[in-house]
Structure 1
Amino acid sequence: MKNTKIYPKDWLQLHPYKQSGPTDLYYTRIANQIHEIMEHTDLVNSFEKEDAIQVSMRMAAYFEDVISGLNIWRAFITQYKELTGNYVPFYTVSDHYYDDEANFEDVRFLLWHYLQQYHGVKKGTFVNPDNPTTEETARLIYQLFCQEWTTAPENTKMQMLFAPDTSYET
């Protein structure tokens, strides 16, 4: 890995707790690997520095969500499928699409979404969802997720926070 661009304190910005643990360190490392992939494909040049860090962390957060069974992403694809008959916008899913696993189509859509959010909106443009660089970057990120699938740790802190029997007064 090149020099670290994303630190645990950055990663914790996406979480409702303040103390990082080994699981957070793992996903911080994944976010840095995603950032390196974006550097390799030059997609990082589409973003301002801080935005590229945010995109890398949010892609890692998707992976954390799927691994931990938090079902944040699953809620989106379930509702979208009920409304449209498809799991994600723009892309036809393969026969190997599983709603409780990381999927290439999910990664591709989310990467496009963040590209649109952090680049397109700021520049006042619509980003083509079929951009070859975005597709290649998504493929490499998906390959990373596949390599890490069996060893990625579940985030038990987040599981407790999202457990059906957990209630909050505020």
Structure 2
Amino acid sequence: MKQKKIYMQAWLDAHGRVKVVDTDGWYLDFANQLLPLVAESYIYAGKEMEEDQKRVALTCALYLEDCVADGGNWRQFIHWHQENYGRYLPFYTLTDDYMPDEINREDVVFLLWAINSPVGDNFDGVENPMDADLLEFADALYNRLDAAFELAPISDYLATDWLLETELMQKKRMPLPVALPGEKMPTNVERFLEASKGEPLLYFDSYDALKFFFVQSLKWEDEEDSLLPDLKEFDNFVVFANPKGLLIGPDVAPYFADKHNPLYNAELAEEEAYELFCEEGLCPFDLLKYGMEHELLSEAQFPFENGKELLQENWDFVARWFLGEYYEGE
């Protein structure tokens, strides 16, 4: 069988440039040396996994290039994570053996987690960052990277944004909007809070119930085009009133452990609520923040061992990683 190969164009594409520099050949060769190891692994074996195999090998080469140069998107990422979350990586307990200016086993495990946890339209689940097969294969890759670390050339032309976009790292999590004393709020919000007796969240089991609230409490025109007809196909709504206006989360009410929520379903929350942090557009981000900051999503957990701890402790990073532009988006 013909040996698969990564070509220079793929390496240049990862760097966002067209010109080959002196160090490119060395790192491309290293990526191609990794390919047989990746292809023989339990995780990535099989012809249908060829694109993932190449991605793993390329990612390891990009990581090595950044580490040798002590720069690039990898260094940017770990120092950003340290500054924002108090440690260099999500998920993993790092010891004094972790060296931010060298290569580390935990780094390689995280890179595999990132590759196996696609975002956006490609989202199909979250990899367990503590998966035994992942940890074992990361050790094999780490040994190859460790052996190459002192041999690899320093590049002055590092790839940008190959792991996490700079723009996404620069986004700050904004505080939830709070009404200032004497501040006039939108009419919809004032009417909502009057109807809810000051509660910022209300729950509706159907579009008909939501529509009735729009007409009776918010005084909207009882005409189909005025009553958000696109919501007809949904149910189990959460409506969040805040000084900016009203936010509506369809199909999410069962996940909110609110004493005022008759639709809360603990079993569904345990099984499905993690998707709010991972699927773009599933839940308005301010509503997600409100739920976390008021402990209303306390049962949200990944569907694997230690999934609650891993999500609850890393939820902001997880939301940023998976939601992309929806993180603090409009």
Instruction: Answer whether TM exceeds 0.5 for this pair.
Output: yes
1:168 aligned partner: none
Aligned pairs for 1:1-170 within 5 A: 3-45=3-45, 48-117=49-118, 122=122, 124-158=124-158
**How far apart, in 2, do the equivalents of 1:77 and 1:21 lie?**
26
Deviation per residue, 1:93-120 (Å, 9 max, x gap): 23221111111111111111111128xx
1:164 aligned partner: none
Q: Percent identity?
A: 32
Contact map agreement 1:59 1:111 (CA 8 A) in 2: no
Deviation per residue, 1:46-92 (Å, 9 max, x gap): 86422331232122101111112224212211121222222111111
Contact map agreement 1:6 1:31 (CA 8 A) in 2: yes
TM-score, normalised via structure 2 length? 0.43
Which SS does the other structure have where 2:151 is aligned?
A: coil
Structure 1 or 2, whichever has the larger Rg, is 2
**How far apart, in 2, do the equivalents of 1:4 and 1:20 lie?**
22
Kindly indicate which of the two structures has a greater share of residues assigned to strand. 2
**Structure 1 residue 139, shift from structure 2 partner:** 0.8
Which SS does the other structure have where 2:126 is aligned?
A: coil
Which SS does the other structure have where 1:43 is aligned?
A: coil
CA RMSD of aligned residues (A): 2.6
Segments of 5+ residues of structure 1 without an aligned counterpart are: 162-170
* Equivalent residues, number: 158
2:261 aligned partner: none
Name the structure, 1 or 2, with higher relative contact order (CA <8 Å, separation 6+): 1
Contact map agreement 1:30 1:60 (CA 8 A) in 2: yes
**How far apart, in 2, do the equivalents of 1:17 and 1:61 lie?**
14
**How far apart, in 2, do the equivalents of 1:158 and 1:86 lie?**
24
Kindly indicate which of the two structures has a greater share of residues assigned to helix. 1
**How far apart, in 1, do the equivalents of 2:86 and 2:70 lie?**
23
TM-score, normalised via structure 1 length? 0.79
**How far apart, in 2, do the equivalents of 1:12 and 1:142 lie?**
24
**Structure 1 residue 20, shift from structure 2 partner:** 2.5
Contact map agreement 1:69 1:100 (CA 8 A) in 2: yes
**How far apart, in 2, do the equivalents of 1:115 and 1:8 lie?**
24
Segments of 5+ residues of structure 2 without an aligned counterpart are: 161-330
